[in-house]
Each structure stands twice: as structure tokens, then as C-alpha cells.
Amino acid sequence: MTTRTLSLAALSLVTAIAWPAFSADLDLTLNDHPIDQNTLWFGHINPDTDTIVSAMMAAKIYGGQARSTGKLNKETQYVLDTLKLDTPPLATNLAAANVALVDFNQTTQLMPGVNQNNIQAVIDHHALRDNPIALSSPISINIKPWGSAATIIADDAERHGIALSKSDAGLLLAGILSDTLNLSSATTTERDRQLVASLSATAGLDADEFAANMFKAKSDLSDVSAYDIVVGDYKNYSINGKNVGFGVAEVLSSDELLGRVEELRQALGKARTSQKRDHIFFAIVDMQKKTAYVITENRADEKLANKAYGVKMDKRGLFVLSDTLSRKRQMMPAIKGALSK
């Protein structure tokens, strides 16, 4: 074999090796659909609206297929029904699948069975904290400190001149409205506000009315068991060697759930066992009062919450946190800080 033949063979080999990295590059200036069509996009377990709509729109814009990671909550179902869109199939058979992640970056929130070396891309708006995913080679990661993963995808679409249909814009609008609680959460940024204005115009939806109907759907928990409420919007964390679980229920009025506190406390104990948590918390978040009511299940968690939030339990056994809406920006950082002291 000649030197020239060897060189060509080596070039072919390099090209073959480099191609998967290129196919996972989210830069839309390189390719209209840079992600391979068989790659599965999905978010964290116990999916919320931002997770589902971001997976759907990431697959549409970058390539690949959207998947869900569990039963949809009523808010997300309302969004899909309103926009006349189908629920993505459940993510299954993941051991050999190429996957791309939205709305999280921690292994504690990753679907079981995923080979982390098969992760092709990540789009997220959360900090890199304990137990982030581990990779054997570089991939495209787009993390911005905005109110939702949908904001990041909508921004990318706008910057690259991608025309969105009414339903596309409606999906991204829903993701932003859901995660920012209609731009009222501490996580809200100016970019979220700008995109809500443009997306609502494209979708032909009044953002305030759409958000109100979304939240009304999410608040209807009368037919939901206490356990399903506790784990419905629930995330696991690993902090300084402690396994911590934190669930929230965001509702327009807290009255109904405050009447079920003891039932919810018992369900929290059941979730501690099933999730194998050292500490576990659940918060009823009243969106109108901008108040979170944190429930604990044992003395150790009560002491930790007292240390984290600097307030005592009231006579109902609740830690009442005023001007508090965000688990990500307000409730969990306080718990992490208390565990770090």
C-alpha cells in the first residue's frame, strides 16, 4: 500500500470517527437537522410541561424523536389537547439507544437503563450540581440561566430564522409559562418575557388566558391520590452524600391541599421508602398568594427545614414560606445550604 493510499485510508477513518460528533452538534448553521433521526429526546422522570414540550420541539428543530418519561400531568395534557397534538411515546428500550436530554443534567433524574456514553446533546436551564451526567467524549451542551428549556429552544429557532407553526409556538409558549408561572417566578428573565410576547402572537393565543387555563387544569387534584400528588412533580437530589427528594404541587388555590395535609404527610413517608431518601419534602405552592407550604414527615426533616428556611413549623405542621414559588431557585438551594453547613 502506498503512502498516498495510507493517507487516504487514514483520512477516511478520521472522517468516519468524527461523523457521530458532528451529527450531535446542535449548531443549526451546520445542518438543518444535525441530530440523527433515531436519537430519542426526553427530559427528567416525572415529566412536567417544559420537559414534554421541549422534547417535542427539540426533535422537530434539531432532528430525532420525542419521548415522554411517564404519565402526563393535567396541565401538560391540557396543552396537548388545546393544540390538538399527540402525546410522545414512552421512552423504552434505552440501553443501546442514542439519546438527547432536555430540562435536566443530573443522573438522579435520568431514565433507568440509559448508557451515558450514548448521550448526544443536552439542553437545560438548571445549574450543574451534584451527580451530573458523565460523558466519555465532548457533546453539544446548551445551558442558559433562563426560565425554561423551552426558552432556549425558542431563542435558537428565532436566531436561525426557523418559521414556527401555530402549534409549535404554542408548545414553546406553554413551556415558558409553566416553568415561570406566567412570568411570576424568581426564575423569570427578560428573555422569557420577550419570547412569551412573540410566541403568543405567532400562536394566536392570549398568554395570560392560556396560562390561567393551564394552571386551572394543573390545580384540579381532587381525583388524584395523595401519593400521586407527592410524586407528581418530584425530583431526587444527592447532596453531600445525602439522598434528598422534593416534590411540589403548584396550584391556584392551596385550600384543597391544605385540607389534606395529614394524608399528604403519610404519602410523603411512603415516598421516602419507595425512593430510598434520607430526607424528603413536599411543598404546596399557592401561585396566587405566592406562598409555599412545606410539609415534612419526621423529626430530622423538620429540623433540616427549620435550619434551611429560618422559620418554625406552624400548628398545622407546615413551614410557611412567603414570596416563595420556585423549588429550583428558592426552596432547594436553602436545603442544600443547610446540608452543607
| Phi, psi (rounded to 5 degrees) for 51 | -60, -45
156-204 pLDDT, tens per residue? Answer: 999 999 999 999 999 999 999 999 999 999 999 999 999 999 999 999 9
Per-domain residue ranges of the chain: 18-215, 226-340
Rounded to whole angstroms, the Cα distance separating 81 from 217 reads 12
Which pLDDT does position 93 carry in this prediction? 94
Q: Coil, strand, or helix at residue 261?
A: helix
**Would strands 279-286 and 291-295 be described as parallel, antiparallel, or unpaired?**
antiparallel
Which pLDDT does position 25 carry in this prediction? 83
Is residue 300 scored above 90 in pLDDT? yes
Mean pLDDT (whole number) for 114-126: 96
Mean pLDDT (whole number) for 272-279: 96
Which pLDDT does position 196 carry in this prediction? 98
36 torsion bin: left (phi>0), alpha (psi -120 to 50), beta (else): beta
287, 181 in Cβ contact below 8 A?
yes
C-alpha cell at 103: 430540562
The CATH class that applies to domain 226-340 reads alpha beta
Rounded to whole angstroms, the Cα distance separating 26 from 147 reads 20
Which pLDDT does position 307 carry in this prediction? 97
Which pLDDT does position 234 carry in this prediction? 95
> Mean pLDDT for the chain?
92
18-71 pLDDT, tens per residue? Answer: 333 334 689 898 888 999 999 999 999 999 999 999 999 999 999 999 999 999
pLDDT band at 151 (very low <50, low <70, confident <90, very high): very high
Answer CATH for 18-215 from 3.30.390.30, 3.90.1640.10, 3.40.50.1370, 1.20.1250.20: 3.90.1640.10
- Identify the DSSP state of 160: T
Rounded to whole angstroms, the Cα distance separating 239 from 27 reads 34
Which pLDDT does position 24 carry in this prediction? 64
Find cell 436561525 and name the residue: 160
Find cell 412570568 and name the residue: 183
Same fold, 18-215 and 226-340: no
- The answer to pTM > 0.75 is yes
